[in-house]
Amino acid sequence: MANAAAAFVRTTPIPAMPPPRALSGALGWARDNLFSSPLNIALTVASALLVAWIVPPLAKFLIIDAVWDGASRVDCLPRAERPEVGACWAFVIDRINFFTYGFYPIEERWRVDVFFALLAFGVGWMAWLDAPRRDLGAFYFFILMPLASVVLLLGFPAIGLSRVSTSQWGGVLVTIVVAAVGIVASLPLGVLLALGRRSRMPAVRLFSVIFIEFVRGVPLITVLFMASVMLPLFVPDTWSPDKLLRALVGVALFSAAYMAEVVRAGLQAIPKGQYEAAMAVGLSYWQSMRQIVLPQALRITIPNIVNSTVALFKDTTLVFVVGIFDFLRTIEAARVDPNWATPVTSTTGYAFAAIFYLIFCYGLSRYSRMVEARLAAGDRR
Amino acid sequence: MVEQSVPSRLKPAPLKTDVAVELVGVHKWYGDFHVLRDINLHVTKGERIVICGPSGSGKSTMIRCINRLEEHQQGRVVVDGTELTNDVKKIDEVRRDVGMVFQHFNLFPHLTVLENLTLAPIWVRKMPKKDADEIGMHYLKRVKIPEQAHKFPGQLSGGQQQRVAIARALCMNPKIMLFDEPTSALDPEMVKEVLDTMVQLAQDGMTMLVVTHEMGFARQVANRIVFMDEGQIVEMNEPKAFFDNPQHERTKLFLSQILH
């Protein structure tokens, strides 16, 4: 029987199978990525329909039918020869200074421009990871620039800069100031609170836990109201700090509590062996945190830190509840201006705000992806 | 040895006393669990002690008490004349002079190999970076991987990583070296390169306490072998007597299981 099974021997080769389908070129890519399975085909078709449904009207409103120049509402009203009116960019262009500076005195607005330039220079220096003398950059960014900005924006009569009350600040200026102070202050404060929460010292730990849990348990609006309405009730008028300053402190402390929890997650992800190795080579607590633990912990929490930062950037809009004229509030104020009362004014204003926030937040997120990729060096194998 | 290439100012100071490590009546509990029971151990300068025993017998805990990674709760731990108490200064002093090598290497993954080596000399010994680099390269040559200086630990094999860890400890010019199962996490092929490094270190006269199950190493290098079980030192003897003529039933059982 065994012999019979082996009796058949093929004498000619089996004809070759057809080659696998092309996987290169545009067609190959499309087949691979867009039409690889029935579900994938359905999703591709659905996405294409969605794009076709959304993009043309959006482009029509924002660009094709948009009004680019004009001096008043008349230019943005539908007329017989132009029944459809898109975004009234003329309104944005007309009020752009208000959106940027708020009520900052017109002849002093160059000071705000200088501040923007100083800030952009500092951000560029710090954000460019291969920049020369980043230690100097840090000194500039964290000490020199903030001091210069205070002098510049608030005024310093002794050197010929007249005083400008913070109640006159507004628009992008306020949004940038609140966001920058919040972001820059919340990270170090958050790191300290996170370390405090894991401290062996009961008093430090208790303080950190109470602070974090209390602030996280309260809405930002409440913190802002407390800072601007309640505080003046307890301290005499002359002691009471500036309204914007109070909001800044409120925002910074609020975001610090969130940042603390983000950082704590990173600290907990660092293996015990790293702490032990740091101790065993003789590093002190602060040295081992600074050199060993925090660099690793912060790296793994970058996505979460950026998440908090983006949230904070948008949360700055809440300062309007205590009467501060941030960017969104200036749009709110301008869109009801009878000079520009048209059916599309509000939509245009909000679209402009959306684009502004989108650019900043998307920029932050792209930058963080780049940093993540750079810092992944230790994972190289 | 290429010792002469290290400038004399970077060389370790000799031990102050002839007694490197002294444990007297040391007890430790984890909650209700009595990990260390009345440990008495006297290590003289230049001595190599190998500590073995079944897992959970308190070997690691004992040597971790010597640089205060674990606190003892009763008894005295004296390292080179300095008694370990809650005094942070004394703990730092002892840690500077006691090197430790871990089972899982515990290299710093975000730093290059050379940075791993120079970190402690720069921050703890306040050494200029140039000197620290010099000493780092010296010890990398000594563990025979100078070409890996600018790679990250994750790019190295286990054996190479453990040799970096040894070099890292040596860069602090320790007077005493503690090894906590340095070869247990390695592939069999890499055990030898690490043991060779340790043998060389022993030949240079380093005071060493080694927790290991490498009985060949123990036979070759140890002055004394300590056998622990259930938190106690059951038997302590010279290698020859320990292997050829174990006194305790528990030791005999252990040896019969690990020596085939």
Which of these, A180, A207, A315, A329, lies nearest to A254 by C-alpha position? A315
Determine which helix (DSSP H) or strand (DSSP E) holds B49, and give its type and residue range.
Answer: strand B48-52
Which of these, A225, A216, A302, lies nearest to A253 by C-alpha position? A216
Flag residues of chain A having pLDDT under 50: 381
Quote the CA–CA distance of A205 and A190 in Å, as a whole number: 14
Show the CA angle centred on residue B18, arms to residues B17 and B21, nearest 5°. 85
How many angstroms separate the CA of residue B184 from the nearest CA in chain A? 16
Whether B175 has its CB under 8 Å from any CB of chain A: the answer is no
The CATH homologous superfamily of the domain defined by A89-104+164-375: MetI-like (1.10.3720.10)
Chain A contact probe: residue of B86, B110, B160 with most A CBs at under 10 A: B110
Q: To the nearest whole number, what is the mean pLDDT of chain B?
A: 90
How many angstroms separate the CA of residue B260 from the nearest CA in chain A? 33
Which residue pairs from A38-43 have beta carbons closer than 8 angstroms and sit at least 24 positions apart in sequence?
none
Which of these, A355, A343, A327, lies nearest to A88 by C-alpha position? A343
Give me the pLDDT at residue A378, please.
Answer: 53
pLDDT, tens digit, for every residue of B66-107? 999 999 999 999 999 899 998 888 999 999 999 999 999 999
Q: Which amino acid is at A275?
A: Y
CB contact under 8 A, B95 and A377: no
Whether B172 has its CB under 8 Å from any CB of chain A: the answer is yes
Quote the CA–CA distance of A264 and A308 in Å, as a whole number: 14
CB pairs below 8 Å between A and B: how many?
72
- Which chain A residues in 291-350 lie under 8 Å from chain B, judged by CB atoms? 291-292, 295-296, 299
Whether A237 has its CB under 8 Å from any CB of chain B: the answer is no
Quote the CA–CA distance of A333 and A330 in Å, as a whole number: 5
- Nearest chain A residue to B125 by CA distance is A282
- Which chain B residues in 91-120 lie under 8 Å from chain A, judged by CB atoms? 92, 95-96, 98-100, 102, 104, 106-111, 119-120
Whether A277 has its CB under 8 Å from any CB of chain B: the answer is yes
Contact A115, A152 (CB under 8 A): yes
Chain B contact probe: residue of A272, A281, A375 with most B CBs at under 10 A: A281
ipTM tops 0.85: yes
The residues, any chain, with a CB within 8 Å of residue B229's CB and separated by 6 or more, are B53, B54, B57, B250, B254
A153-162, B50-59, B164-173 — which is least confidently predicted? A153-162
Determine which helix (DSSP H) or strand (DSSP E) holds B43, and give its type and residue range.
Answer: strand B33-44
Give the nearest partner residue to A296 out of B110, B153, B172, using CB atoms: B110
Burial grade of B256 (CB within 10 A; 0-12, 13-18, 19 or more): exposed
Which pTM was predicted? 0.82
- Higher pLDDT residue, B25 or A373? B25
- Nearest chain B residue to A287 by CA distance is B123
Residue B11 pLDDT more than 70? no
Give me the pLDDT at residue A2, please.
Answer: 52
- For chain A, give every domain's residue range: 89-104+164-375
Quote the CA–CA distance of A208 and A202 in Å, as a whole number: 10
CB contact under 8 A, B95 and A379: no
Give me the pLDDT at residue B22, please.
Answer: 93
At A332, give phi and psi (nearest 5°): -55, -45
Number of other CB atoms surrounding residue A265 within 10 Å: 14
Residue B70 corresponds to which tokens in the numbers above?
């674990």
pLDDT, tens digit, for every residue of B121-135? 999 999 999 999 999
Which percentage of chain B shows pLDDT scores above 70? 93
CB contact under 8 A, A284 and B154: no
Give me the pLDDT at residue A261, please.
Answer: 94
Which of these, B174, B70, B100, B54, lies nearest to A277 by C-alpha position? B100
How many angstroms separate the CA of residue B158 from the nearest CA in chain A? 12
Contact A175, A316 (CB under 8 A): yes
Residue B93 corresponds to which tokens in the numbers above?
């002093």
Contact B254, B54 (CB under 8 A): yes
Tell me, what DSSP letter sits at residue B44?
E
